[in-house]
Structure 1
Amino acid sequence: MEYTRLGRIGLTVSRLGLGTMNFGWQIDEPAAHTVLDHAIAQGLNLIDTANMYGREDGDGLSERIIGTWLARTGNRNRTVLATKVYAPMSADPNDRGLSARNIITSCEASLRRLRTDRIDLFQMHHVDRTTPWEEIWQALETLTNHGKIVYAGSSNFAGWHLTRAQAVADRRHYLGLVSEQVKYNLLTRHAELEVLPAAAELGLGVLPYSPLHFGALSGALRKQRDRSPGRTLLHASDRVEPHRAALQRFEDLCADLGEEPTTVAIAWLLSRPEVTAPIIGPRTPEQLDLPVRAVTKPLPAEVLARLDEIFPPIGNGGPAPEAWAW
């Protein structure tokens, strides 16, 4: 495994992060623990979850599964533990969003479920357009000062949200954001317009989620032909069909390279200079192996150019405004 710093800060993370949205949803606790064991053995140290992962009723099941694993293995100090706050966790109207009350109470609840005394990266899962940044940062500063969180991050923010958030943090002499977790893959390149340039300017680590576009980039067409089980068939109509022609060209290119589509898709993300660590969500230990291979298999320039032909960037490519203007 290779490691890098998370943006401008001194924290070192693996070039792949383990996403745990499947824990409690698609795999049970013993299977999840096996995935966690394998991830640590492969050198992954970044574990990403959220308070709402696991079941639809917001019971924090993914966090609880990670908590029992940490208690069993004693691996807390070997991991960079990341979770999130924002999504509704009950019918209570105050049990959601980024109010100071919800940030603090959600952090306390996550700490209990995770069986730890601190969260290394506490991420805002979505922008809250109704709560002022002064209130948000006051709550996060309180948690930092009490040692309950170490760093603050964001997810699903626009570029101007990142800039606004950091400007308020700077006025308060607070470190502010250290990372942005964004949906980014060969089929979803909108982040290149403003989110990636803003993150680079602000010194934020970029953690792409859905790197395989819900399985569409994992050899979906071949799996359909082979009737292989899994997420690809589950989402075939909306994730695969709109991109069938491009995906066929992609799978043909991968076959010519002698590499699995999963490895190539992850290697492309790792080639992006702004990207710190794609967040992968395996359901079995074996599903970790192809992404891990990508870390040591950089793509040559001619392959990167072919991928741009198959999956063109938005507009003229590159950041705004050149992507749509001169």
Structure 2
Amino acid sequence: MEYTQLGRTGLKVSRIVLGTMNFGPQTDETDSHAIMDAALDAGVNFFDTANVYGWGENKGRTEEIVGSWFAQGGGRRDKTVLATKVYGNMGADGEVWPNHDRLSALNIRRAVDASLKRLNTDYIDLYQFHHVDRHTPWDEIWQAIDVLVQQGKILYAGSSNHAGWHIAQANEAAARRGSLGLVSEQCLYNLAERRAEMEVIPAAESYGLGVIPWSPLHGGLLGGAVRKEREGGGGARTNGGRSAGALANSAIRAQIEAYEDLLDKHGLRPGEVALAWLLTRPGVTGPIVGPRTSGQLDSALRAVELELSQELLSALDEIFPATGPSPEAFAW
């Protein structure tokens, strides 16, 4: 396994991030534990989760599964860089009640204690803001985070699904307070969705944030969707509606067919190339992979060792054109 620093920090993390979103909803506790064991054995030390994972009436269940894995001992917690998130409503029994979501100091305090309990740990390495809170000032957010750092409950703070200007606003506010600020941004970024290159990734690089792409296969679209469809295994799986019916779009289908044909000529697997491509991108710490099975984890691990030629990278750019940074992306 290869390791890198998380943004401008001294924290060393694996270049593959184990995403746990499927633990609970699609993968039972026993199999989830087996996947985490296999990941750790392979040198993956960076695990990502969120307080809302498990979803609906089972929200929090994923953190509980990770916590029960830590409880088995064997150095599991000490070897793991643990990341979780705060923002979504965690009201009991699906109840929507004020101050049980978003990023108020009250909810951050409440949410971190609940996550620590579910995760069976006394600290979180990377505490991430799952979404932008347009109603809470950054000074209030950083005041809450500074207290948690002083208490030893969290070590670093990161963002997820933030725009480039949000990253700038957040870290300028942190700098005024003498706080460390954001050290990572978790964003939607893959071959088929490159808009993060316009402003999010340049902002992250400028402020020293590690970029952690989520949905690296774009909901399965980049994992051999056309071939699977032809073989009767279904195309891109639905992921929040993002890839649902994507292959019905003739332009998208043509792109994916060209992508798969190109990789067939090189004897490469689409899903592994999609991950390996992200590892070549400036500012990227490592993509999040969310395996439902140990076999899917094995495929992700192979991507770390895959070297893509400049010829292949150029061909991929032709199929999935780069947006480039702003303002050049849309102006001269």
Structure 1-normalised TM-score?
A: 0.96
Letter of the 1:14 counterpart:
S
Shift of 1:274: 1.1
**CA distance in 1 between partners of 2:134 and 2:77 (Å):** 34
Q: Does 1:172 align with 2:182?
A: no
Per the alignment, residue 85 of structure 1 pairs with: 86
Shift of 1:52: 0.2
- What is the RMSD of the two structures over their aligned residues, measured on CA atoms? 1.4
Letter of the 2:159 counterpart:
S
Deviating above 6 A after TM superposition, structure 1's stretches of 4 or more consecutive aligned residues are 233-236
| Contact 1:58-1:89 at 8 Å conserved across structures | no
Letter of the 1:304 counterpart:
L
| Contact 1:8-1:178 at 8 Å conserved across structures | yes
1:144-188 Cα shifts (integer Å, max 9, x gaps): 000000000000000000000000000000001100000000111
What pairs with 1:64-83 in structure 2 (closer than 5 Å)? 64-74=64-74, 75-83=76-84
Instruction: Tell me the secondary structure at the aligned position of residue 33 of structure 1.
Output: helix
Q: Does 1:207 align with 2:212?
A: yes
Unaligned runs of 5+ in 2: none
Q: Does 1:321 align with 2:322?
A: no
Shift of 1:217: 0.5
Shift of 1:108: 0.2
Instruction: Tell me the secondary structure at the aligned position of residue 72 of structure 2.
Output: helix
User: Sequence identity, in percent?
Assistant: 55
Per the alignment, residue 245 of structure 2 pairs with: 238
Match of 2:283 among 262, 274, 279: 274
**Number of equivalences:** 323
Per the alignment, residue 10 of structure 1 pairs with: 10
Structure 2-normalised TM-score?
A: 0.94
1:172-228 Cα shifts (integer Å, max 9, x gaps): 000011000000001111100000000000010000000000111000111111122
Which stretch of structure 1 is more off in the superposition, 84-93 or 200-209?
84-93
Match of 2:264 among 255, 263, 266: 255
Q: Does 1:225 align with 2:230?
A: yes
Per the alignment, residue 105 of structure 2 pairs with: 100
Per the alignment, residue 304 of structure 2 pairs with: 295
Q: Does 1:185 align with 2:194?
A: no
**CA distance in 2 between partners of 1:207 and 1:83 (Å):** 13
**CA distance in 2 between partners of 1:82 and 1:29 (Å):** 19
Unaligned runs of 5+ in 1: none
Letter of the 1:295 counterpart:
V
